[in-house]
């Protein structure tokens, strides 16, 4: 496990924008995660773990310290008290796992068959779709730290809320999710795979196919961010190479040559336009990662910018 210096991160994100990591390592095993965490600690550097990069907006100026991509992806189905349980390493691709399980007649994860990213990222973000969500299926996550200590936490210990958990908002990512266990049930191929196909079809109709990071803003209480952005007349609005999707206004797409700065500017534009019309402040669902200034972060969060004078 030897980190590489100045590695472009855009290829590791679904939006394909953003600058390099000062240091980067692909963690191909749980031990690599531990070694990476320890290396960062020994060098007194901040560390962040990423999965599929499908919920991230990485700053053009890159990410300080070490970025570890969790890519160990072994998957097994075990029995627990007669019931099937998915045991997956954090880097396993959630959608692929969900589809494969459905084809084997296991139910429980049909909702996830279109959710990009990894099993680990889903456990951190409480990913969900079509009425299902990670918190409802999760039996445990195993986290590791820089000393190689492992801790198995149940869903009730993870503070799950809408697209969030206690694992998400840490200043320094000094732990990593190594493994996830999820509850399955025996279904039939016909039923489980049928549901996957039904969900697929709905997705194809409602979501853009261009590069994106999924829903940009969380839905405000009792309304939909996409509806508010569309009502503000912003569909197909462009800043630089980034565009508010024609198909779904809560998606910002990168048809080819967008930058992180373009995506950020478009998010701010949508927030201001919607606020002006409705006094609703759209809260980002996408996570900013890397060298965004405190002012940029505060502006997006809708907080007053604190002066540092
Ligand atoms: C086209 C599209 C559609 C989408 N649709 C949905 C949807 O329907 N529902 C939904 O919930 N989301 C959706 N998303 C967003 C995204 O798929 C989820 O947020 C997903 O769970 C992110 O997983 P990831 O592995 O890509 O995590 P990343 O984006 O890489 O990281 C997300 C967070 O998890 C942390 N993290 C990741 N892996 C680890 C680990 N092993 N250990 C510790 N921390 C870790 C990161 O530090 C970061 O804080 C969509 C995205 C796209 C591009």
Instruction: Determine how many CB atoms are found less than 10 A away from the CB of residue 154.
Output: 11
**Model confidence pLDDT, tens digit, residues 86-114:** 999 999 999 999 999 999 999 999 999 99
User: Domain for residue 111, yes or no?
Assistant: yes
Global confidence as pTM: 0.96
Say how far apart CA 56 and CA 65 lie, in whole Å. Answer: 17
Domain boundary among 187, 205, 223: 205
Look at residue 309 and tell me whether its pLDDT is greater than 70: no
User: Domain for residue 307, yes or no?
Assistant: no
- Report the nearest-CA residue for atom 52 of ligand 1: 214
Which atom of ligand 1 lies at the shortest distance from residue 143's CA?
Answer: 42
Residues 126 and 45 in one domain: no
Count up the domains in the chain and report the number. 3
User: Domain for residue 37, yes or no?
Assistant: yes
Ligand 1 test: best mutation among 121, 168, 216, 263, most atoms within 8 Å of CB? 121
- Whole-number Å distance, alpha carbon 118 to ligand 1 midpoint, is 7
- Report the nearest-CA residue for atom 4 of ligand 1: 214
- CA Rg value for the chain: 20
- Whole-number Å distance, alpha carbon 53 to ligand 1 midpoint, is 6
Domain boundary among 177, 205, 233: 205
Which CATH number is 52's domain given? Answer: 3.30.43.10
Which atom of ligand 1 lies at the shortest distance from residue 70's CA?
Answer: 41
Residues 201 and 80 in one domain: yes
The whole-number pLDDT of residue 307 equals: 46
- Report the nearest-CA residue for atom 43 of ligand 1: 176
Residues 65 and 83 in one domain: no
Minimum mean pLDDT range among 170-179, 195-204, 208-217:
170-179
Active site residues: 163, 215, 285
Domain boundary among 70, 93, 126: 70
The whole-number pLDDT of residue 304 equals: 56
Residues 163 and 195 in one domain: yes
- Whole-number Å distance, alpha carbon 225 to ligand 1 midpoint, is 19
**Model confidence pLDDT, tens digit, residues 1-52:** 899 999 999 999 999 999 999 999 999 999 999 999 999 999 999 999 999 9
Q: Which domain holds residue 234?
A: 211-301
pLDDT band, very low/low/confident/very high, at 174 (cuts 50, 70, 90): confident
The whole-number pLDDT of residue 308 equals: 47
Residues 250 and 293 in one domain: yes
- Whole-number Å distance, alpha carbon 117 to ligand 1 midpoint, is 5
Ligand 1 test: best mutation among 48, 124, 144, 224, most atoms within 8 Å of CB? 124
Residues 199 and 216 in one domain: no
Q: Are 87 and 99 in contact (CB under 8 A)?
A: no
Which atom of ligand 1 lies at the shortest distance from residue 129's CA?
Answer: 8
Which CATH number is 229's domain given? Answer: 3.90.78.10
Average pLDDT of the chain to the nearest whole number:
95
Question: Quick one: average pLDDT of 50-65?
Answer: 98
**Model confidence pLDDT, tens digit, residues 222-258:** 999 999 999 999 999 999 999 999 999 999 999 999 9
Residues in contact with ligand 1 (CB, 6 Å cut-off): 14, 48-56, 70, 90, 115-118, 120-122, 124-125, 127-129, 163, 168, 173, 176-177, 212-214, 287
The whole-number pLDDT of residue 1 equals: 80
Q: Are 182 and 107 in contact (CB under 8 A)?
A: no
**Model confidence pLDDT, tens digit, residues 74-87:** 999 999 999 999 99
Residues 125 and 237 in one domain: no
The whole-number pLDDT of residue 138 equals: 98
Residues 148 and 101 in one domain: yes
Residues 107 and 50 in one domain: no
The whole-number pLDDT of residue 171 equals: 55
Among 210, 279, 290, smallest CA distance to 22 is for 290
Residues 40 and 80 in one domain: no
User: Domain for residue 308, yes or no?
Assistant: no
Residues 227 and 193 in one domain: no
User: Domain for residue 282, yes or no?
Assistant: yes
Which CATH number is 154's domain given? Answer: 3.30.465.10
Q: Can you tell me whether residue 192 is helix, strand or coil?
A: helix
Q: Is the dihedral of CA 176, 94, 152, 74 positive or negative?
A: negative
Residues 117 and 231 in one domain: no
User: Domain for residue 83, yes or no?
Assistant: yes
Say how far apart CA 78 and CA 10 lie, in whole Å. Answer: 36
Q: Are 163 and 128 in contact (CB under 8 A)?
A: yes
Which atom of ligand 1 lies at the shortest distance from residue 124's CA?
Answer: 34
> β-pairing, 242-244 with 238-239?
antiparallel
């Amino acid at each position: 496990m030897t980190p590489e210096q100045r590695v472009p991160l855009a290829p590791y994100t679904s939006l394909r924008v953003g600058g390099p990591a000062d240091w980067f390592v692909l963690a191909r095993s749980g031990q690599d995660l531990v070694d990476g965490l320890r290396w960062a600690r020994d060098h007194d550097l901040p560390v962040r773990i990423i999965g599929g990069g499908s919920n991230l907006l990485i700053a053009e100026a890159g990410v300080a310290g070490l970025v570890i991509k969790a890519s160990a992806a072994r998957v097994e189905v075990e029995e627990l008290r007669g019931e099937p349980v998915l045991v997956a390493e954090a880097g396993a691709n959630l959608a692929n796992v969900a589809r494969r399980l459905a084809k084997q007649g296991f139910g429980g994860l049909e909702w996830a068959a279109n959710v990009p990213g990894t099993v680990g990222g889903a456990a951190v973000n409480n990913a969900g779709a079509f009425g299902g969500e990670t918190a409802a299926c999760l039996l445990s996550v195993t986290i590791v730290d820089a000393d190689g200590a492992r801790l198995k936490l149940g869903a009730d210990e993870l503070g799950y809320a809408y697209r969030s958990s206690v694992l998400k908002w840490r200043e320094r990512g000094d732990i990593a999710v190594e493994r996830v266990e999820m509850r399955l049930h025996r279904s039939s191929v016909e039923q489980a795979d049928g549901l996957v196909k039904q969900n697929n079809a709905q997705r194809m109709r409602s979501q853009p196919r261009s590069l994106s990071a999924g829903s940009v803003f969380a839905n405000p209480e009792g309304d939909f961010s996409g509806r508010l952005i569309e009502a503000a007349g912003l569909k197909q609005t462009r800043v630089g190479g980034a565009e508010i999707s024609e198909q779904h206004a809560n998606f910002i797409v990168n048809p080819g040559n967008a930058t992180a700065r373009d995506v950020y500017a478009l998010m701010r534009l949508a927030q201001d336009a919607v606020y002006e019309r409705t006094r609703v402040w759209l809260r980002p669902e996408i996570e900013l990662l890397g060298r965004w200034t405190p002012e940029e972060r505060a502006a997006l969060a809708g907080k007053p910018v604190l002066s540092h004078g």
